[in-house]
Chains A and B, each alone.
Chain A
Amino acid sequence: MIDRPRTVVQRWLDRSVLALGVLLFVSPAVSVFLWMLSLAFKNEVDNLAYPPVFIPTAPTLANFASVFRENNFLLYFWNSIIVTGVSTAVALLIGVPAGYGIARLKAKKLLLVILIARMTPAISFLIPLFTLFQALGLTGSITPVVITHLVITVPIIVYVVSGYFETLPPELEDAALVDGCSLWQRFRYVALPLARPGITVAAILAFIFSWNNFIFGAVLAGRTTRTLPVAVYNVLTFEQVAWGPLAAAALLVTLPVLVLTMLVQKEIVGGLTAGGVKGG
């Protein structure tokens, strides 16, 4: 492209076209979200009104109150925290050293195997898993849910972290080797501190995917051990379609992930522009 100075009008035109394009792509998703927001704060009359009312005539928090009152919402929230928290933590414990090993040994094939496990449709192994947990007498408890969520969290962490470890200059580890470090010391004192941005991003991504997961909780959890996405689904089936409380519940489930997603944005940019990892 020729670097001719753009006039003010041309630049304004560029920006407008870009904005229009972005709007076209983003509007379906955003409009659904905005509608959900609107549903949550409107009373039932407004929600069923036709023509549809977008801005609440009398904004209310009654839907949120109903969600907490009629369902054991806090229990489900706590279940989600346990399942996602524990599976992410375990995945970090296994996945970060695994990512390091894969990066250093250049074990591309092993990485592929791990990714295939992630990409395999959950349905295909849920039934055997269910039978297995049933034989162990674990169905209905929260343990099988945590274990199966590892299928989500471990591959993400291994993949992101191994990619990050590969960007660390190998000369740093040569220097650590000359300084007398064993493999674990190299990992602990040199590689790990430098990979912190990558590990943070990986952990947040694993958290998001695990939090949103529906299928494992739906199949393997019991009434008191279900996670939030499953609980929202059950609001739909067990009671009449109460749009207000449904939207409120969906919003509550989405909120933590939304916040984390915004955090991930900052971390990704931060990790890329830190520039601290240049071999000194």
Chain B
Amino acid sequence: MARVQLSQIHKKFDKVQVIKGVDIDIASGEFAVFVGPSGCGKSTLLRMIAGLDSPTAGEIVIAERVVNQLPPKERGISMVFQSYALYPHMTVGQNMAFGLKIAGTAKSSIAEKVAAASKILGLDTLLDRLPRQLSGGQRQRVAMGRAMVRNPQVFLFDEPLSNLDAKLRVQMRAEIRALHQRLGTTSIYVTHDQIEAMTMADRIIVLRDGLVEQVGTPVELYDRPVNTFVATFIGSPSMNLLPATMAADGRSVTLDGGASLRLKQALPTMGLRKVVLGVRPEHLHLASDSAAALPVVAQLAEFTGADTQLHCTLHGTQLQAVLRERIGVAAGDSLALTPEQFHLFDAASQQRIETAIC
């Protein structure tokens, strides 16, 4: 178990600055998830922690040791790759034993560790099979087993579930989480899927274009996104963003189009500022009174069983709502929706306007 610290990490590939100054502190035993869109640098960061790449500047500390100059085997890490990277010419047992064999571990000890890991992962009947004879989920488990047997201080996962189908992904998510709870090893997990991040992480690090946008627990990121990028990235369906203007007295917000919403707490210093109003689809409800309501025109209602996903327009702007109520709605119908809570972001900087949640 080890603490992982990244200080002022920069990474340049030829002339392209990929990582632009990243500071991250991961506590011992924590399950941290790096999440962000493709190209944000999350896999690059993971590779640098593993020792497969080296940073152009900055320090990487694992278990209070600076590891910048150390090869992967001396960092106390194990990695699970996106494409599993199992050795195709070795059996499951040989794959799992390989790292221990290279380290010169005694044969009896190797057999013991492989047996223990394969038991936990349900691989004990598959030890003599070759990777090409296994299903995707089984291969993923072998990859995890190979990482586990070396008893690392830090587990690194590089989008391990991307190659699996949806149902298997849900199952493996739970298995990885259960494994973490059982072993308690510090884990760093990279994914582009915000649902994986939300369901698995102790803390999420949201990255964009080589910079950290926000670090926090899933609840913090969901309730208080620090800018519009994080706001729309976390949560599915994405948060609705509506352009608006603060009223002169700072007591209400007027959407472009006329509808106006009262704030719970007045912000007189922000008068007449251009803002972005963010409201999550699941926080929109059918209005009981039309006073504080948004008049929308329905376009499409998708019934998922548990709820209804309503696509509509508010004064020409697209809006999506997730309603618990079952409503019979046809395209073109007019409805009134009211937000249970909403967020305000500065239109110029896209940053959150700190205020009690409205």
B87: interface (CB < 8 Å): yes
Chain A interface residue count: which class? 20 to 34
Residues in chain B within 8 A of chain A (CB atoms): 50-52, 71-73, 77-79, 81-89, 95, 98-99, 102-103, 131-132, 139, 142-143, 146, 150
Point out the residues of chain A lying under 8 angstroms from B146, CB to CB: 175, 179
A-B contact count (CB 8 A): 79
**Chain A contacts for B131, CB-based, 8 A:** 280
**Contact residue among A171, A180, A190 (Cβ-Cβ distance under 8 Å from B73):** A180
**Cβ-defined contact, B88 with A175, below 8 A:** no
What's the minimum C-beta distance from B82 to chain A, rounded to whole angstroms? 8
Shortest Cβ gap from A103 to chain B (Å): 18
In the complex, which residue of chain A has the Cβ closest to the Cβ of B98?
A: A179
Residues in A whose Cβ lies below 8 Å from that of B89: 193-194, 276
Q: Are B102 and A179 in contact, CB atoms less than 8 angstroms apart?
A: yes
In this complex, the member of B71, B88, B131 whose beta carbon has the largest number of chain A beta carbons within 10 angstroms is B88
- For residue B77, which residues in chain A have a CB less than 8 angstroms away from its CB? 178
Q: Which residues of chain A have a CB within 8 Å of any CB of chain B?
A: 169, 171-172, 174-181, 185, 189-190, 193-194, 275-280
Note all chain A residues with C-beta closer than 8 A to B132. Answer: 275-276, 278, 280
Task: Tell me the dominant secondary structure on chain A's binding face.
Answer: helix
B102 touching A175 by the CB < 8 A rule? no
On chain A, the residues within 8 Å of B103 by CB distance are 180
Whether B83 lies near A169 (C-beta < 8 A) is yes
* In-complex Cβ contact of A177 among B52, B86, B95, B142 (8 A): B52
A280 engages B98 (CB within 8 Å): no
The interface centre, meaning the residue of A175, A180, A193 with most chain B CB atoms within 10 A of its CB, is A175
List residues of chain B with CB within 8 A of the CB of A178: 50-52, 72-73, 77-79, 99
Contact of A280 among B79, B85, B99, B102 (CB under 8 A): B85
A28 to B71, CA, bound (A): 60
Residues of chain A within 8 A (CB-CB) of B52 are 174, 177-178
Query: Please, could you name 6 A-B residue pairs with CB atoms under 8 Å apart, sorted by A?
Result: A177-B73, A179-B73, A179-B98, A180-B103, A279-B83, A280-B88
Name the one of A169, A181, A189, A194 contacting B85, with C-beta atoms under 8 angstroms: A169
List 8 tightest A-B contacts by C-beta distance, closest first: A280-B86, A180-B73, A179-B99, A280-B131, A175-B85, A171-B85, A180-B102, A279-B83
Closest Cβ–Cβ distance, residue B157 to chain A (whole Å): 12
Q: Which residue of A lies closest to B75 (CB)?
A: A178
Distance between Cα atoms of A278 and B163 in the complex (Å):
13
Interface centre among A185, A194, A279 (most CB of B within 10 A): A279
How far apart sit A177 and B103, CA to CA, in the bound complex (Å)? Answer: 12
- Find out whether the CB atom of A172 lies under 8 angstroms from the CB atom of B87: yes
Instruction: Report chain B residues within 8 Å CB of A174.
Output: 52, 79, 81, 85
The residue of chain A having its C-beta at the shortest distance from the C-beta of B86 within the complex is A280
> Closest residue to B99 on the A side, CB-wise?
A179
Instruction: Tell me whether A280 and B83 are in contact (CB under 8 A).
Output: yes
